[in-house]
Amino acid sequence: MEKPKVGISSVPILNAFAFGNTKRDSRVCVTGEILSRLNDDGLRAVLGHETAHIRHRDVVV
């Protein structure tokens, strides 16, 4: 699977989510708040979790 594009939302909450219609056009979004609070390992875990949603086609269902 190709790496998904990642967006950053400026809403003041801790959140990350995956969205899209197909694996190819899916994206991951994280908030600025989560970026400011997590260390690199935590951020890798969150991005890995959201990427797994894309890989398992959860974003399509």
List active site positions: 50
Q: What is the 3-state secondary structure (H, E, C) of the chain?
A: CCCCEEEEECCCCCCEEEECCCCCCCEEEEEHHHHHHCCHHHHHHHHHHHHHHHHCCCCCC
